[in-house]
Structure 1
Amino acid sequence: MKALVRADASVEIGMGHRVRCQALIHAFTQLGWQCQFVVDRRYQAFASPDDVFIATEAQFWRLAEQADLVILDHYGYAADAITQLYQHQANLLVLDDMNDRGEFPAKWLLNPLQQDYSKLIEYPLIGSQYALLRPAFQASHIDHSSPQRLLVTLGGTDPLMLTLPILNTLLASGFPTEYIQVLLGANAKNAAQVIAFCDDNRIAFEQGLADVTPLMKQAKMAISAAGGTLFELACLGVPTVFAQVAENQTRSLEQHVPLDWCCSVRFDTVPEAARQQRVARLVEEVNRRWLDLQWQQNARQTARRLVDGAGAERVARVISDFFETQ
């Protein structure tokens, strides 16, 4: 069986689509599938040499017709574009977050948030049990030691370059540098300046780690972007102050913040000149919650109940079972 995965990555798009699709590819591969990314040539710098590169949508349609399954994780596809793709390959799995693209047909629809979709979706896969995490999270066991670190991680690209102002504000607030752990994505903006700052202030940092679970397990709390990392931190029970850096993170925060294992400060809707005020608010929230041990304990328990790390395996099994019964 062959699956094509349509997802792009760039500084503007971020790395989250590709990362969660890689988790799904791993699960399908374990069941004997052949999987391959299909990527727009404009984003070749963030792709793998093994990917298939396309310049037009017609090229993708021809590839889709030859596959058994197409997995679409791409905000560039509105309802009409998804409908066109479905006409070329009805065995279509659409990954979604916001449920804001209108009605479209698909065999399967995956959203780790509770959302209602039209009857054009044959098999909705809805809820946090379908959150797509890398295999390391499923294999991770809860660390019963007492974590001491504040993990600062603003996504694969840190599109708004928030890491450095957050670190500056943390230090100005008197937060102990020995407790800070910075995690930079391989393609993080402003990485050289962040690394220099960390060196100057003896702050621990890592960049481009293939497995982030050891750092997350050491985290008493985290400051994080609110993309796919939200589900990773929930799985490992890390209370978090999220920096919202993109519109597509709105629904996940609307559903998770009321559960009180996390809180959030929004950055994507404010001009650059006003971001420092939001950074100060975020750091104030971190300092307040850093000493609230009862909240942290409750938050850890709540978060771990939400995500078990086996979502990709569940999705791959559901779809494989469908093909086995045809």
Structure 2
Amino acid sequence: MKLLVRADASVEIGMGHRVRCQALIHAFIQLGWQCQFVVDRRYQAFASPDDCFIGGQSDKESKTEFLSLANRADLVILDHYGYTADDITQLYQHQANLLVLDDMNDRGEFCAKWLLNPLQQDYCKHIEYPLTGSSYALLRSVFQQQKKSQTPSRQLLITLGGTDPQALTLPILTALLASDFPTKYIQVLLGANAKNAHQVIRFCRINNIAFEQGLADVTPLMKQAKMAISAAGGTLFELACMGVPTIFAQVADNQTRSLEQHVPLDWCRCVRFDNASKEARQQRIELLVEEVAHRWLDIEWQQNARKMARSLVDGDGANRVAKTINSYFAVP
């Protein structure tokens, strides 16, 4: 059985789409599927040599080329905000076995056999099988294997995503030091393609701050974290699974709904940066650091937050999705 995944990654797009699709691909491979990413040539620098490359001149060219590829697959997974409701319906007409990954539920009505959203959302009747809620959060297999009862250390984990598109790591570090937060408790995690990584690493070395970059397995650092400062993409579900109370920096509009659902559960807090002007940016960084300082000393909140977070995500979402869809094809 052949599976194609349409997803791109870049500094602007981020790495979240690719990371969660990789988790899903791993689960399908375990079930015997042949899987391949289909990527726009413009984003080849963030792809793998084994990917199938299409287009390269425009979104329209890429979409047209992908339609013909979709015809020759048994299943297509689409994780791409560049596809409108009409684009998705057109793709469905070429390949009825279509799984759409979504976060915002803001594209209107479209057709798909399966729809996956790790948030509780209602979709139109044109979706045959909606898979919604945190039990379908797509995490890499290492998260399911972790023991979550271990007592965390006193580390503050700072991780602003695979690319840190707003280059927030360095100004947050600077503000933490200005507030006299102890550097010995700070652990920085940089993505392989993080903006301003060289400047961040230099700052960390000068100030004796622990850092890692491009780790394949981030779970040991999350397991050791007392709290985290993080971007609010797919890492939100990873931190929930590991039971890490977090102050999220919202860096993209598509993170709005996940934060709207998770912040009221009180295992995390949020400061928004995607709509901040240059003048407001520093003020919000200081607000974030103040929130960290306040929550760092609130042991009761941390204990309740860890318990709540762990109850939300069990780490088995990718296997759950793959087995559900595989069973559809196994029916005679």
TM-score > 0.5 by shorter chain: yes
Aligned position for 1:292: 298
- Among 275, 281, 305, the residue aligned to 2:311: 305
- Give TM-score scaled by structure 2 length: 0.97
Aligned position for 2:4: 4
The letter for the 2-side match of 1:237 is G
In the alignment, the residues of structure 1 paired with residue 89 and residue 246 of structure 2 have an alpha-carbon distance, to the nearest angstrom, of 38
- Among 230, 238, 246, the residue aligned to 1:240: 246
The letter for the 2-side match of 1:22 is Q
Aligned position for 2:262: 256
- 2:319 is equivalent to residue 316 of structure 1: no
In the alignment, the residues of structure 1 paired with residue 33 and residue 317 of structure 2 have an alpha-carbon distance, to the nearest angstrom, of 17
8 A contact 2:7–2:80 mirrored in 1: yes
- 2:197 is equivalent to residue 191 of structure 1: yes
CA-CA distance at 1:26 after TM superposition: 0.3
CA-CA distance at 1:272 after TM superposition: 2.2
CA-CA distance at 1:143 after TM superposition: 4.4
8 A contact 2:152–2:223 mirrored in 1: no
CA-CA distance at 1:58 after TM superposition: 2.2
In the alignment, the residues of structure 2 paired with residue 279 and residue 129 of structure 1 have an alpha-carbon distance, to the nearest angstrom, of 32
In the alignment, the residues of structure 2 paired with residue 103 and residue 275 of structure 1 have an alpha-carbon distance, to the nearest angstrom, of 36
The letter for the 1-side match of 2:17 is H
In the alignment, the residues of structure 1 paired with residue 38 and residue 104 of structure 2 have an alpha-carbon distance, to the nearest angstrom, of 23
Aligned position for 1:25: 25
1:42-61 equivalence runs, <5 A:
42-55=42-55, 56=61, 57-61=63-67
- Among 114, 133, 137, the residue aligned to 1:131: 137
In the alignment, the residues of structure 2 paired with residue 279 and residue 186 of structure 1 have an alpha-carbon distance, to the nearest angstrom, of 23
In the alignment, the residues of structure 2 paired with residue 102 and residue 146 of structure 1 have an alpha-carbon distance, to the nearest angstrom, of 43
Aligned position for 1:67: 73
The letter for the 2-side match of 1:202 is N
The letter for the 1-side match of 2:248 is F
Aligned position for 2:58: none
CA displacement 1:160-192 (0-9 Å, x = unmatched):
000000000000001000000000000000000
Count of residue pairs brought into register by the alignment: 326
1:104-253 equivalence runs, <5 A:
104-253=110-259
What fraction of aligned residue pairs are identical, expressed as a percent? 77
8 A contact 1:143–1:217 mirrored in 2: no
Q: Over the residues paired in the alignment, what is the CA RMSD in angstroms?
A: 0.6
CA-CA distance at 1:145 after TM superposition: 2.9
8 A contact 1:97–1:251 mirrored in 2: yes
In the alignment, the residues of structure 1 paired with residue 152 and residue 129 of structure 2 have an alpha-carbon distance, to the nearest angstrom, of 42
CA-CA distance at 1:146 after TM superposition: 3.5
The letter for the 2-side match of 1:259 is L
Runs of 4+ with >6 A deviation: none
8 A contact 1:14–1:156 mirrored in 2: yes
The letter for the 2-side match of 1:218 is Q
In the alignment, the residues of structure 2 paired with residue 22 and residue 292 of structure 1 have an alpha-carbon distance, to the nearest angstrom, of 37
Runs of 5+ unmatched residues, structure 2: 56-60
The letter for the 2-side match of 1:285 is E
Runs of 5+ unmatched residues, structure 1: none
In the alignment, the residues of structure 1 paired with residue 272 and residue 10 of structure 2 have an alpha-carbon distance, to the nearest angstrom, of 22
The letter for the 2-side match of 1:17 is H
- Give TM-score scaled by structure 1 length: 0.99
- 2:87 is equivalent to residue 100 of structure 1: no
